[in-house]
Amino acid sequence: MFSFTGRGAETRLSWGGVPFAETDCVACGACVQICPSGAITDRDRERAAPIPEAREVQTTCGYCGVGCQLTVRVGADDRVRWIDGAPGAVNRAHVCVKGRYAHAFSRHPERLTTPLIRRGGVLEPASWEEAIRYVAEGFLRMPGQVAALSSSRCTNEENYLLQKWMRAGLSTNNVDCCARVCHAPTAAGMRRVFGTGAATNPLEDIERADCLLVVGSNSTDAHLVTGARIRQQALRGASLIVIDPRRTDLAAIADVHLQLRPGTNVPLLNSLAHAVVRLGLVSSAFVAARTEGYADYASFLNDFSPETTEPITGVPARLVWSAAQLYAGAARPMQTHGLGVTEHMQGSEAVMLLCNLALLAGAVGREGAGVNPLRGQNNVQGAADMGCQPDLLTGYADPRDPAVRARFKAVWGRPPPMKQGMTIPEMYAAARAGSLRGLFILGEDVVQTDPASHVDGALEALELVVVQELFLTETAKRAHVVLPGAGFLEKDGTFTNGERRVQRVRKAMEPLAGAEGAPGAREDWRVLCALMEATGLPQHFQHPSEIMEEIARVNPAFAGVSYDRLGQDGLQWPVPAADHPGTPRLHTGSFPIGRAQFAEIPFMPSPSLAGPGRHPGYPLTLITGRVLEHYNCGSMTRRSESALLAPVDALEIHPADAAQLGLTGGSPVTVGSPWGAAHATAEITDRVAPGTVFLTFHWPKTGTNNLISPVLDRLAGCPEYKVTPVRVQPEPV
């Protein structure tokens, strides 16, 4: 119930007598946007009142992979006045607290507006010309020994340019993106079973599904607008199954919550498939017409009855049988999954098992069904589509294929290199070994987001680390050259969301100019063009739309994409021709590999899993993840009002474990693992099961990723963020 706390000018709206920030309100601001009388307002509107509006721009949110459309109102002072949700196909005017309110970063006083070059151990101001020359000369001195990490916060056009620079300019396939630390296992797993490593269905199919299976995704935090859609469909009567070690908000309203032990996705998913087969719920016609390997797969599943896997997963067998009945018994079962599936030693393989389930249920290639990974960062799908991965070019083309090589040579003037490039973990290892000398990092704070056990020692070993960023992040602090880039509100381009929808990013304001003669930030595509020219690969693009024209020439799935056609709702690739409407659903008639292939995946327990004699002294299992208010490394949300709502990284710990350790809510704690230590604030909650703790990684001082092991996904090289043996100790207050 709404009420008020405080007195006079300190009066605040509250819900149930506690401060608003401590309530269940997700602060999406929808009430403010639709209030017909203006009685409900927010601080953005109050602050903007005296400033005349200069323009209104529709663009795409730069935070998560949902890809919400925003209406950005910009004042005469070239600052955001306020942001509303725009009525796009993805969000229908709904947005979350980040999309609406986390924009102060764009004009934050800590924004970089001057290039920096390290001299005598200190980062000193430089002109753009000097910095570009310094980087170009440095990389040209290291033929074959440079690499680049692209940015999911940058546009498709910028990601395309970065990999083109590496391949055509510096003759190396050493380019990778942050999918390596999130959904590369999704792409690998789905490609193996279906032939394409991307979401099969549009998000609007959530409203057509009569059963939703949400696996390893705290969707109402990490992808709020999609999470709200799932919740609404469940409230409308669709059955909801959640597989998650935590009792997330969706798990709390689910028909069945399979609260498995961290690290046991593979036996649990195998047991679900076993139950589907034994219950006679296999879609025989679909399996016969569209798949291969069913007979062997069904016999492989014999060993995975829910009763057999219960002691491993901790999930009661009866719940697995119920979930199987709900999922495969539904007319339109749809899956979504998140990093709780992928960030494991068997992440790619767990994704294959999700695909297997969809095949068994005949839930691919039709409305209200499918397998939809919820992509984390806003343009991680686009970064991979553009070719920011070491083994595949733009459009997932094989650089060893003669026809592909000819196509790229015709556009680039040079063929792509043949030699396979390095993944991010391989880059770190090569840096430490001395075989990689230079690294260009576009808009990623790897020191904070990647495991310290991977990064430590690698950046220090490199001769030239260049970081193009908005702020002096933890990674930028270690760089030799820092180039001030532009945020998503300051540039034109496109992002591709998690359902393959290519959407326009429209410039709402100019890149931040420097004060007192500083050269100012620049759009990242312009910086990349300057670097390409300085290293002997001149570009002639005057606008990102021209870069998209080139992308359409090298990538057949984008052949029909142009800025003129993207309009308000964009297009879902593949768009093979200028008159093609885009492809909301994949695999409707066939798979790119002909028939889908069932994958038989035995369980290989991670060395990080708890067990007799393993990791003595580390009795708890840590899961890491995000909260609603923050985005990944937090460099943008920490410099916005999100910081008021979530000012620390909180360690969720069960009341029983907390009591044993003598912890109270808000206690400072040290979390230790065999690989490092972190410092957080205890939050006592039964969202986590006894023996499991959960910690976010948004604040650098926490050091969450110091704890993570060197274990990688067996196929895609993704770190195992979701299973770490730890101990928790109270810190002296």
Q: Which stretch binds ligand SF4 (CB under 6 A): 91-99, 473-481, 563-571, 573-581?
A: 91-99
CB nearer ligand SF4, residue 54 or residue 93: 93
> If you ran DSSP here, which 8-state letter would residue 584 be given?
S
* Closest CA relative to residue 157, chosen from 598, 491, 426: 491
* Closest CA relative to residue 393, chosen from 414, 408, 378: 408
Phi, psi for 576 (deg, rounded to 5): -75, -10
CB nearer ligand SF4, residue 102 or residue 431: 102
Strand partners, 12: 5
Q: What gap in Å lies between CA 25 and CA 23, rounded to an integer?
A: 5
Q: Which two tokens stand for residue 665?
A: 């809510």
Q: Interface with ligand SF4 includes 229 (CB under 6 A)? A: no
Q: Please, what is the minimum distance in Å from the beta carbon of residue 64 to ligand SF4?
A: 3
CB nearer ligand SF4, residue 343 or residue 629: 629
Q: Interface with ligand SF4 includes 443 (CB under 6 A)? A: no
Q: Interface with ligand SF4 includes 99 (CB under 6 A)? A: yes
CB nearer ligand SF4, residue 66 or residue 149: 66
Burial of 587 (0-12, 13-18, 19+ CB in 10 A): buried
Q: Please, what is the minimum distance in Å from the beta carbon of residue 693 to ligand SF4?
A: 26
Q: Please, what is the minimum distance in Å from the beta carbon of residue 91 to ligand SF4?
A: 6
DSSP 128-158: HHHHHHHHHHHHHTSTT-EEEE--TTS-HHH
Q: Which stretch binds ligand SF4 (CB under 6 A): 42-50, 56-64, 262-270, 701-709?
A: 56-64
Q: Which two tokens stand for residue 167?
A: 């391949």
Strand partners, 671: 678, 728
Burial of 239 (0-12, 13-18, 19+ CB in 10 A): buried
* Residues 627-656 within binding reach of ligand SF4 (CB under 6 A): none
Size of interface with ligand SF4, in residues (CB under 6 A): 14
Q: Please, what is the minimum distance in Å from the beta carbon of residue 26 to ligand SF4?
A: 10
CB nearer ligand SF4, residue 165 or residue 495: 495
Q: Please, what is the minimum distance in Å from the beta carbon of residue 675 to ligand SF4?
A: 31
Burial of 565 (0-12, 13-18, 19+ CB in 10 A): middle
Q: What gap in Å lies between CA 312 and CA 316, rounded to an integer?
A: 10
Q: Please, what is the minimum distance in Å from the beta carbon of residue 56 to ligand SF4?
A: 17
Q: Which stretch binds ligand SF4 (CB under 6 A): 58-66, 176-184, 450-458, 722-730?
A: 58-66
CB nearer ligand SF4, residue 475 or residue 503: 503
- Measured CA to CA in angstroms, residue 491 lies from 76, 107, 157, 164, 506 at distances of 18, 14, 11, 20, 6
Q: Which of 61, 269, 287, 359 binds ligand SF4 (CB under 6 A)?
A: 61
Q: What gap in Å lies between CA 88 and CA 91, rounded to an integer?
A: 6
- For tokens 């820092």, the residue is 482
CB nearer ligand SF4, residue 443 or residue 520: 443
CB nearer ligand SF4, residue 488 or residue 591: 488
CB nearer ligand SF4, residue 63 or residue 603: 63
Length of the chain: 733
Q: Please, what is the minimum distance in Å from the beta carbon of residue 80 to ligand SF4?
A: 14
Q: Which stretch binds ligand SF4 (CB under 6 A): 93-101, 254-262, 598-606, 660-668?
A: 93-101
Q: Which of 74, 96, 198, 707 binds ligand SF4 (CB under 6 A)?
A: 96
Q: What gap in Å lies between CA 370 and CA 585, rounded to an integer?
A: 9
Q: What gap in Å lies between CA 665 and CA 657, rounded to an integer?
A: 12
Q: What gap in Å lies between CA 242 and CA 335, rounded to an integer?
A: 10
Q: Please, what is the minimum distance in Å from the beta carbon of residue 624 to ligand SF4?
A: 19
Helix residue spans in 236-331 (DSSP H): 249-253, 265-278, 284-290, 294-300, 306-313, 317-329
Q: Please, what is the minimum distance in Å from the beta carbon of residue 96 to ligand SF4?
A: 3
Q: Which stretch binds ligand SF4 (CB under 6 A): 94-102, 234-242, 437-445, 654-662?
A: 94-102
Q: Please, what is the minimum distance in Å from the beta carbon of residue 626 to ligand SF4?
A: 10
Amino acid at 84: D
Starting at the earlier edge strand, list the strands of the sheet with 12-15.
2-5, 12-15, 18-19
Provide CB contacts within 8 A for 173, sequence distance 6+. 166, 167, 390, 391, 399, 416, 417, 419, 420, 421
Q: What gap in Å lies between CA 423 and CA 561, rounded to an integer?
A: 29
Q: Please, what is the minimum distance in Å from the beta carbon of residue 378 to ligand SF4?
A: 6
CB nearer ligand SF4, residue 224 or residue 707: 224
Q: Please, what is the minimum distance in Å from the beta carbon of residue 227 to ligand SF4?
A: 8
CB nearer ligand SF4, residue 61 or residue 467: 61
* Residues 207-226 within binding reach of ligand SF4 (CB under 6 A): 223-225
* Residues 63-82 within binding reach of ligand SF4 (CB under 6 A): 63-64, 66-68
CB nearer ligand SF4, residue 189 or residue 443: 443
Q: Please, what is the minimum distance in Å from the beta carbon of residue 572 to ligand SF4?
A: 16
Question: 3-state class of 688 per DSSP?
Answer: strand
CB nearer ligand SF4, residue 26 or residue 315: 26
Q: Please, what is the minimum distance in Å from the beta carbon of residue 66 to ligand SF4?
A: 4
- Measured CA to CA in angstroms, residue 538 lies from 408, 410, 554 at distances of 16, 16, 18
Q: What gap in Å lies between CA 610 and CA 337, rounded to an integer?
A: 24
Q: Which residue is nearest to ligand SF4 (CB)?
A: 99
Give the footprint of ligand SF4 on this chain (CB under 6 A): 61, 63-64, 66-68, 91, 95-96, 98-99, 223-225
